[in-house]
Structures are given as C-alpha cells and as structure tokens.
Structure 1
C-alpha cells in the first residue's frame, strides 16, 4: 500500500519503519534537521528487541513539497499541531485517501471529520514507546506496537475495503493492527492508560520503575484511571476489561526509565499535550457531572 505519515517523531517514525521494512511505499512528512538526516542517510530505528536497523526505502519531505496520492494517511502529530494537518489535507489529500489519526487525545477523528466533511476520517489510537533519539534516528524503547482504528457509530463507512485491508497490512508488517467495531470504547480505553500515565508521571517527575512498585505514584495512576473509567460509563461506554488492571499490565512491562512524551515535553520546557490529556478530562468531568478530583489536582499544580 501507499502510505503518507504526517509526523516523523516517535509514533510516525516507528510506524514508517515497520511499514517500509515490509515493502510498502512510505513517505514521511517531516521538517528541520530530522528531515535532512532522513533524506541523506535514511531513517534509523534503534530498539532493544530488534537492535539497530537502517531503513533506506523511506521517502521524506515537507508538507508543502508533498505531491503524491496515498491510500492511507496516518496522522501522528501532537494535538497542538492538528491545524497544520488539517491545512495539509485540504490542500494535498483527495477524498479517496483513508485518514487515520492516532493521536493521544481522545476523540480527535471526530473533530477532524467535522472540519473535513468531504474526507473519511476514522478514529484511532496507538500503543508505542518511541522518541527521536537524534536527527534521523528513532528509539523504540519497548516492543509494544499496536494500532486500533475504526468508524465511529453512525459514520458513513466510505473506503471500507481499504479500512479492512489495512488490518492485514499492519499485521504482516509486525504491527498488531485491529479494525475495531467499537472504536470509541477502544480509543477511550487507550486514553485511560496514556492520560493517567502522563498525568501521574509529570506530577511526580517519575519514571516507569517508580510505578512498578507500591507507593504514591502507583496509587495516583490507579486513581486517575478510575476517574477516566467513571467518565466513560457516564458517556455510555461499556468497557469489557478492568482498566486499572489493564493499565498496570502495560506499566509493569515497560523498560526501566520509560516516560511519556507529554512528560518529556514538559520537563524540556516544550509545548505539550497537557491541555488535551489532562485539562480536557477536567472539562469532561464538569460536562458529565462526574467528580475528577485527582485530575483537578494535577491540572492545578502543573498549570
């Protein structure tokens, strides 16, 4: 398949690497020194489970220079860069491209669809631990790699054959791809991990091993997950798993020293997804009349 991946960081870079290694046509939308390095040397994927691999087949360009017609557009930017993606789609992408956002923030696909009525924007999420280690080098710190995507309830299922085929393509590339019939539930379930992990991580300035033992960090994480679960039930979501147990399994399997991208961005003084991952939960709590005291605590302290 022909892929365009907007965003060449830890998420987009890992996806591009696996898809290109499986023989697919992949173009990364990137910028700056990272783009220059990929153009000159190709993309390098550094992992603890596969070693270091140089992926030569990946193309890379700026959003302005892109001129192709992809079957799939993966949106892998931070939430605060979403307007750049919307402008890119409106200018460069036709209605026959399936758009799959895999941002950390819950409900991004629906928000995109409202602004792109002629396109097909699914909802999606990804489980991955990756970051830019150096220009042209992506570090995947854990072998966890799972992509879930699907149509929202009531959404017209345009490009359905493409959506179904994508599941097979992902799986054959070594990515745990899943075309979901319950994407709102599945995306919120993922949010119920990444949001509490990021919130608790930045609140305590903690790394994965702090959460892997009993203590205030682990208790805060569990409490935040419970607040998201309560919100989900108020929204009519019927979870099929225990979100606390599921989140702890992910945490306990992480490599030592792991942190979330939001936490790293805040600690480096960079723009972060705090508004989408933490403040948004406080707003949803007010909207659905659900108490979220731990989220309010994190929100007030970090702001």
Structure 2
C-alpha cells in the first residue's frame, strides 16, 4: 500500500513518522527548511513517554516524484487545499483514495448524504469547486483529526496528545478501502475507527473550532480563560446553539450538551487555539472553513446565525488588518 501525505506539518508529520516507524510505504510532500531537514536527517518524532525516534522518509516538494498512490492523505489547512489540487494530480490514479484530514466542514459534506441537499457545493470551503471537480467526490474518505502536535524544529515533530484519526465514508458504509487504511494506521500505533456517522463527529469537533478559535483571535485569550469568563463563554454558547440548530436540520445528533462541550474546552487549560497561533505567527487563519462554512450552511438551511455573523465579521476584519485575509 502506497501512502502519500500531502502537507507534512505537525499532524501530517506525526502520522508520517508513525507510519515510517512501522515500515509502511509512506512519502511526504513538504517544503522549505522542514523538507530540507527531513531529506538530510530523516523525520524525528518526540513523544512524551518515549525517547525521540528518527526514521528515514521520502520527502519532496514535487508530487510527481512519487507517482500514483493508493491513498493521498491531505493534512493542509483548509484554505491551502484548493490552490494545490492541480499539483496533486500526478499522485492520483483510477483507484486512488483521497483522505480529507482537514478541519471544518469538508467540501464533500453533501456527497451521498441523500435528500434535497444531495450534491450541494460549498463555496466557503471549495471556491470554484476546485476539489469537487479536481478530485471527484467518489474518491474521498472522510477523516476527523484529533491529535495535537507541533513542528518544534525543522524535521522534528513533537506529539502533545491524542492519536485518533476517525475515518468515514460519505455514505456511512464500512468499505474495503476504509478498513484497509484503518488496519495500516492501527499497525502504526494510531487509532483509526471507521465510523458510520462521521458527520456527527465533524460537528462535535467543529463546535469548538467554530467558537473558541475566533474568540481567541479577537481576545488573545487561552481556552481556560475564554471558556470561564462570563461574557466570552456566553458568546461561545450562542454560537454553538446556532450551529446545533443547523446541524440537527441536517440530521446530526450531538452526544453531549453545549455546556459540557464548553466545560471540556476549559479543562484543556491554558491552550492557545490554532487560529491564535496562526495570528501570532503571521499565517493565514482558517476563518472560512471553521466559521464561514457554518454561516453558509445557515443560509442553505434557512437558519438565522446572528452571533456567528457578528463574530465572523469581527474576525475577518482582525485578520485583514493583520494582512492575513483577503
């Protein structure tokens, strides 16, 4: 089985390191100093309960070097994917599966969902239908990413917590391709359950990303603060309630309450969200995938989103003033 990870940052690098250590046929598409370090010294993984392990890996900034793959696992930020769909084409053959390990509402969300919204496209996450047309929705296998990791230095991945990558077919089936990938990831020490209702997991994770991320970018607060401060907790709660109304119209069931989800965020402690980290580092933030997509789904389902609209407008302007959103 040939696996290419496109976007070998923290999450992609963590997965690649585990696969490489297990002897899997894995390659990485990366760039810059991180790529140079991996080529020269291999990919090092630091886990809290183990000594650092370095494994040789095949890495390049040119996907054509690797040829057709069985699986292409996309671990880029959501806004970075549409511009590089054409670059991925040398990796894609007739039997290639695209594994979408990207935060937010996925571009394939309405593929095989059934009902009147079947085949609906989302401009906020797939402008110009770049992924829908360039990959084809029948190739996609969904993935909800739970681990936390960071690139501590070029070629070095520090694993913080979590090792689950939930997989799911758009139609909810336990397909051969999903089970095969789950087995390979499991052999590498990763949890990869195949879920019949992956969209439910997408929304539970999105609940936090939708609210905590933009609020942190606006206030610079860590999770423990914004989830316990009376004012910001209420803003997050209202955003989640609006999102829940949208999701339930789409058939999603939430296994926990809004209050428990916010309490879980507070329990993480003094964590800086990914959007706050991107703001501090001068990197584009995942505003459209995490917040704009929910606003768009509100329009699709006829659901008012006044709090989401307000926070989205403020976050966009914050990012524009920092030169991080156009």
TMscore range, shorter length: 0.7 to 0.9
Per the TM alignment, residue 228 of structure 1 is displaced from its structure 2 partner at its CA by 1.6
- Check conservation: 2:225, 2:266, Cα contact below 8 A: no
Counterpart residue number, 2:8:
8
| 2:316 is the counterpart of 1:297 | no
- Check conservation: 1:7, 1:29, Cα contact below 8 A: yes
CA distance in 2, matches of 1:291, 1:97: 39
- Check conservation: 1:5, 1:12, Cα contact below 8 A: yes
Gaps of 5+ in 2: 110-125, 318-326
Counterpart residue number, 1:79:
78
| 2:156 is the counterpart of 1:137 | yes
- Check conservation: 1:6, 1:85, Cα contact below 8 A: no
Distance 1:229 1:73, change over 3 A: same
Distance 1:89 1:109, change over 3 A: farther
Gaps of 5+ in 1: none
Distance 1:180 1:282, change over 3 A: same
CA distance in 1, matches of 2:88, 2:275: 25
Moved more, 238-247 or 280-289: 238-247
Map 1:1-303 to 2 at 5 A: 1-47=1-47, 49-51=48-50, 53-110=52-109, 112-117=131-136, 120-141=139-160, 143-153=161-171, 160-211=175-226, 213-246=228-261, 248-249=263-264, 251-254=265-268, 256-302=269-315, 303=317
User: What is the TM-score when the length of structure 2 is the normalising length?
Assistant: 0.81
Per the TM alignment, residue 84 of structure 1 is displaced from its structure 2 partner at its CA by 4.1
CA distance in 2, matches of 1:193, 1:214: 16
Moved more, 28-37 or 164-173: 164-173
Q: What secondary structure, in the 3-state scheme, does the structure 2 residue paired with 1:291 have? A: coil
- Check conservation: 1:98, 1:163, Cα contact below 8 A: no
- Check conservation: 1:189, 1:243, Cα contact below 8 A: no
- 1:28-55 CA deviation, whole Å, 9 max, x = no partner? 11011110011111122234x3355233
Distance 1:196 1:46, change over 3 A: farther
Distance 1:68 1:52, change over 3 A: farther
Moved more, 278-287 or 113-122: 113-122
CA distance in 2, matches of 1:17, 1:8: 10
- 1:148-198 CA deviation, whole Å, 9 max, x = no partner? 2212138xx7x9312112223323323221211112222222222222221
Q: Which has the higher strand share?
A: 1
CA distance in 2, matches of 1:188, 1:293: 19
- 1:81-100 CA deviation, whole Å, 9 max, x = no partner? 11244213323311222211
Per the TM alignment, residue 253 of structure 1 is displaced from its structure 2 partner at its CA by 4.6
Moved more, 267-276 or 94-103: 267-276
Distance 1:98 1:172, change over 3 A: same
- 1:275-294 CA deviation, whole Å, 9 max, x = no partner? 22122222322332222222
Distance 1:243 1:167, change over 3 A: farther
CA distance in 2, matches of 1:114, 1:189: 28
CA distance in 2, matches of 1:204, 1:64: 39
Q: Would you say how many aligned residue pairs link Structure 1 and Structure 2?
A: 296
RMSD: 2.6
